[in-house]
Chain A
Amino acid sequence: MKRILFSLMAVAGTIFTVQAQSDQFKDAMKQQIMLIDSGSTWSPAGMQQLANTFERIAEAEKTQWLPYYYAAYCRVNEAFVTENKSKTDEIIDKAVLNIEKAQALKGPDSEISCILSLIASARIGVDPMTRGMKYGPESAELLETAQQQNPENPRVFVLKGQNFLYTPEAFGGSKTKAKEMFDLALKKYAAFKPESDIAPNWGEAYVKELMKQVP
């Protein structure tokens, strides 16, 4: 009897450990996710550090798509803010590796399509004159895919608005359309329920910042 109880306890012990590990995963993720939106990390070094941390978590877990997703998101942000344009492509390549792993684990997903769209936009930044033609429409197309996959995803509209805002008017950019998209995004945020407390839910503070540019 004792023996049985003992072994039961042992099993419980391991379960507890697994549970503790899962909590450790969530805690670690939560901590890092908070940092993304904090603003203090919005620098090449800050984003690099966050991306590094997410990559470590991703490589330790291997079966979770979210750390890869966030690693890709932070990498692409790092690419956007990096001033040395000759390094940008290599950084984006790392973002691509991460988002591909996320996609392999999660399957087609609106949030992943949003990151792929951001990646295409980041490619333009390296050489807008020659790359705009290829990656501009690609970025827009990926947002359409993202919207089909989940019409309620507010990030789709943040990124659409951002594209309208930063595209020159003659190439289809428009501040009015950008504002429409941002308003729509805010409505979607109000209704949006993330799947979990570590699922993608970024961008609300950012869109409020962007709205200052479109009075």
Chain B
Amino acid sequence: MLKPFPILLMLLLPLLTQAQTIVKGRITDVKKRPLAGVNIAVKGSYDGATSAKDGSFSFPTSATGERFLTASLTGYQTLEIKAVLGPGQPDFVLVLKETVNELKMVTISAGSFEASDEKKNTMLKPLDIVTTAGANGDIVSALKTLPGAQQVGEKEGLFVRGGTGTETQTFIDGMIVRNPFTTGMPDFAARGRFSPFLFKGTTFSSGGYSALYGQGLSSALILESIDLPERSSYSIGIMSIGGSVGVDKLSKDKKTGYGFEADYVNLSPYFKLVKQQQEPVVAPQNLNFSANYRLKTSKNGMLKVFFTGSWNKFGFLGESLEYPGDKEEFRVDNKYAYTNISYKESLGNGWKIQLGTSFSTNRDKLYMDTINKSPEPSHIKARQDFTQVRTVVSKNLGQFSMLRFGSEYQYDDERSALNDMHADYADSYTATFAETDVYFTPRFVGRFGARFEYTSVLKAANIAPRASLAYKLDPKSQVAFAYGEFYQKPEQQYLRFFRGLNYQRATHYIASYQRVSEFFTFRTEVFYKKYHDLMKTVPSFNNNGTGYAKGVELFWRDRKTFKNVDYWISYSYLDTKRDYLNYPYEVQPDFAADHTASLVYKHYIPSVQLNLGATYSFATGRPYYNPNRPQSEFMKDRTRSLNTLGVNVNYLTTVGKAFTVFVLSVTNALGNDQEYGFRYSSDGLRRNMVGPMAPRFFFVGMFMSFGIDRRQEVIDRQ
């Protein structure tokens, strides 16, 4: 017979062995601060606990002998230790190390403002650029509210830290863009050609930028095109000045996307309602078309094709400054096409490659005439064909450090003709660059690079070293420094006529401090920039120009203090002088103001679905040239200080099945006088103020989208 006892013993054996012991201890971070919420477990069992506020934990377990204890907490590296469990085991003292993620790591920051959705610790989001009131959806106008940029309204481009608009270059997916602005008329700034919605990342560098970019003496505007659309959609826009249609398609497997967009703008009805300073003789019209194709070739691989074409024309008749009582006419007809193809792929083992090519062609026909006066009307025909290829290879070094190198080739065919007089040239430009980001520790990074360039039109080479350092003081704040040499060819209008020129050069030194927290951002920078070999046009074309710029800048952003309000303030102090072009000696140039400030305000009222935005900009008076003064008082006069307030209102609603937004915006709402400078007749007896075509610009529009909610985008568009 079987004895019941051993059987019972047998059955219960597994349970009986489960004698309970208590595991307890305390858990802290490296700095001995207690950690709460840590998940402590005996590996392979349910036994464990969550640590209390003081970092202590205690739990019973039936496990004995050699086991693994694990401790894990969000934001920390999981700890696994071997422990012998059983009676008399000592208390555990566990220490968790923080994981190093993007937020905790230092980044190269001196000189640059970045807007990105992907990176976490940027000061701006792409939306911020496009929701800025008064900018009317123009990237450059929005960036003018940031420190470092001047409020220059009579010429296109970003005038940064004592530099001219041509000293800022625009790059799309790493490749420089020839003719990034539409063709305008003298003394009126033209708009940028590229909509902010084409880009997922925008970096505005006011100096000290990477060796990957060249040919900008002062500044770089670095734009990164979007990848695949989120989903398929259709959109229609009806505006007071025109209309637009768009399609975005995303394939079912979310690997292929394509889209088209077309818009047409005609300002003549608007000009009938709102009087302009000059009389429009050719209705200002603008037709744009763009198409894109995206293919995800692998997990990290992406092929992007982008094409845009535009045509615009306008003509104005104004009072002649030279001949009082007579009229002057100016007409433009511009055609432009741009293609950009880029491909990136990961090659394994930390290697990545980026290939790109772009082509653009720009054709201008300009007509200028003082009616009934000799000389005969001027016909200007200009054409620029710009082709480039670029390769960048990168390699991860260790956990965070990285090496990048590559080269680019550009071929620029420049043709222009004034009546029958031709001035053409072609230029081959090659550049090779390398840089490395070295993380000495996760809190201390250095970037060292250099760029070699050769250009055939100057028959000259240069080597530009660049260096940046950044050190994280605490999780929110960091200090950074940058140094760099920057070279740029003289502008096309000089190269056209004279080849014996050399590169212009600028040396940058920047120191910055920034503190970025969830709702508040503070940044301050001081800089010194030295100009060498600037273009001079007197006594003849030469490279003997000099100059400097130095200053202090502040930026403050607050998204919390006032409910539903987000605002930022920027301030720039600039001290700059230069001797260039026809200047007799070093003097503060006509595009530089001593003090510049902007306030950008955004207010959302959820109960009525209204977005209100306002941008107020201020700049002290700028110098202008008065020929009636002796040479010793060159650029002595100052314009009035500039005040301007841009306002916009958006109302969100649903019309039928379409999400709809109504938009109203006004630039210079208060109608302040905008005095950019003065032009004098050659005898110096008469002068014209340089200012905008009209004190204000009104815009009303309705944008509908089907498929996905694109209303936010529309709000952002103006």
Q: Which residues in A have some Cβ–Cβ distance to B below 8 Å?
A: 2, 5-6, 9-10, 12-14, 16-17, 20, 24, 28, 45, 48-49, 52-53, 55-57, 59-60, 85-87, 89-91, 93-94, 127, 129-130, 132-134, 136-138, 141, 168-172
Contact = CB atoms under 8 A, between A and B. Distances in A.
Given A9-B11, A87-B75, A133 B709 contact: yes
B46 A137 contact: no
Interface string B641-670: 000000000001110000100000000000
B609 A169 contact: yes
Contacts of B13: 13
B537 to A, nearest CB: 47
A134 B233 CA distance: 13
Given A13-B10, A55-B39, A133-B230, A91 B653 contact: no
Given A55-B39, A56-B39, A170-B659, 7 more contacts: A55-B72, A86-B103, A93-B74, A130-B117, A133-B708, A170-B609, A171-B709
B659 A172 contact: yes
B142 to A, nearest CB: 16
B67 to A, nearest CB: 12
Q: Most A CB atoms within 10 A — which of B7, B11, B46, B230?
A: B46
B46 A133 contact: no
Contact of B43 (A13, A14, A49, A59): A59
10 contacts: A2-B2, A52-B50, A53-B46, A57-B46, A59-B41, A90-B101, A130-B117, A133-B230, A138-B230, A172-B654
Q: Most B CB atoms within 10 A — which of A59, A91, A170, A172?
A: A170
A138 B48 CA distance: 36
B502 to A, nearest CB: 46
A21 B606 CA distance: 54
A9 B47 CA distance: 29
Contacts of B127: 129-130
Q: Number of contact residues on B: which range applies?
A: 35 or more
A5 B6 CA distance: 12
A135 to B, nearest CB: 9
A90 B74 contact: yes
A24 B46 CA distance: 10
A130 B103 CA distance: 18
A137 B230 contact: yes
B324 interface: no
Given A91-B74, A133-B712, A20 B14 contact: yes
B421 interface: no
Nearest to B9: A13
B7 A9 contact: yes
Interface in B85-110: 101, 103
B375 interface: no
A12 B11 contact: yes
Nearest to A18: B14
B79 to A, nearest CB: 14
A2 B2 CA distance: 7
A170 B50 contact: no
Nearest to A45: B37
A99 B83 CA distance: 30
Nearest to A169: B609
Interface in B114-138: 117, 120, 125-127
Interface in B56-83: 72, 74-75
Nearest to A49: B50
Contacts of A141: 231
A49 B48 CA distance: 11
Contacts of B713: 133
Please provide the 3 A-B residue pairs with the shortest distance between their CB atoms, ordered closest to farther. A170-B652, A52-B39, A170-B609
B518 interface: yes
B399 interface: no
Interface string B217-247: 0000000000000110000000000000000
B182 to A, nearest CB: 29
A210 B50 CA distance: 30
A46 to B, nearest CB: 10
Contacts of B7: 9
A54 to B, nearest CB: 10
B44 interface: yes
A86 to B, nearest CB: 5
B711 interface: yes
Contacts of B273: none
A9 B10 contact: yes
Contacts of B50: 48-49, 52-53
Contact of B36 (A45, A94, A133, A134): A45
Nearest to A141: B231
A169 to B, nearest CB: 7
Nearest to B127: A130
A56 B46 contact: yes
A29 to B, nearest CB: 10
Q: Most B CB atoms within 10 A — which of A13, A45, A93, A172?
A: A13
Contact of B711 (A17, A60, A94, A170): A170
A115 to B, nearest CB: 18
B716 to A, nearest CB: 10
Q: Most B CB atoms within 10 A — which of A17, A59, A93?
A: A59
Contacts of B654: 170, 172
B15 interface: yes
A187 to B, nearest CB: 27
Contacts of A169: 609
Contacts of B45: 56, 60
A168 B15 contact: no
A171 B705 CA distance: 12
Contact of B712 (A20, A45, A59, A132): A132
